[in-house]
Chain A
């Protein structure tokens, strides 16, 4: 199975900060990379699909980029409601895999 590695595993940031989370695949996955946000006790919600497409209804402060093996999720100006855990997920093959998650905490 394709392995997905996120970095960092956690970060502390302040409201208004620009935040970047990276996700690396151990083999090329084209642009078949999705990003999810999960808040405690809730189901995940998709933010970005196909590496850079913003899900309808999601704030434009979220953006995704990358292709091949290296991908980035950027939050342009962190808001209080953005404190959550973020997961990348590849769907290049039939057997999907997730990154281990990045927890974004309040500084």
Chain B
């Protein structure tokens, strides 16, 4: 079955960087977009960006542009999300999620949705 398994919880100091992984299984890795969404404690969902695992192209939320980088390793079917210059407001659970539509059948990420989701990775930023 389609599964996304994320790396474990992280504790970082302000100003540091964090890199969260998302390992995909059960499907052809390069055929589906992967999105990242985060959720601060007690807050709503915030879309962070998307990567095309085939060519590696990315689109990031304007708010995070310059601080976030999404990459992929096709040899291990793993997507990574790195967030730099961490501040306390970045404390959140970070989720990866797949768009279930074949990349080859759609024109970009428009009209997509997320299913399934990874289990989430808690990143705590604290001095």
Query: Do A and B make up one complex?
Result: yes
Is the pair B35, A45 in contact by a Cβ cutoff of 8 Å?
Answer: no
Partner of A94, one of B44, B95, B108, B114: B108
For chain A, what secondary structure do more than half of its interface residues adopt (helix, strand, loop), or is it mixed?
A: loop
Is the pair B59, A94 in contact by a Cβ cutoff of 8 Å?
Answer: yes
Interface readout for B96-119 with A: 1 if CB under 8 Å, 0 if not? Answer: 010000000000111111111111
Complex interface: chain A residues within 8 A of B62 (CB): 1, 95
Is the pair B44, A95 in contact by a Cβ cutoff of 8 Å?
Answer: no
> How many whole Å from B32's CB to the nearest CB in chain A?
14
Is the pair A44, B44 in contact by a Cβ cutoff of 8 Å?
Answer: no
Please give the residue numbers on chain A whose beta carbons come within 8 Å of chain B beta carbons, in ascending order: 1, 30, 32, 34, 36, 38, 43-46, 49-50, 55, 87, 89, 91-101
Q: 11 A-B Cβ contacts within 8 A?
A: A1-B61, A38-B45, A44-B114, A46-B113, A91-B111, A92-B111, A95-B47, A96-B47, A96-B109, A97-B47, A98-B45
Besides A91-B113, A101-B45, 13 other A-B contacts (C-beta < 8 A)? A1-B62, A32-B110, A38-B45, A43-B95, A43-B120, A44-B114, A46-B114, A91-B110, A91-B111, A92-B111, A97-B47, A99-B44, A101-B44
Please give the residue numbers on chain B whose beta carbons come within 8 Å of chain A beta carbons, in ascending order: 35, 37, 44-47, 50, 59, 61-62, 95, 97, 108-120
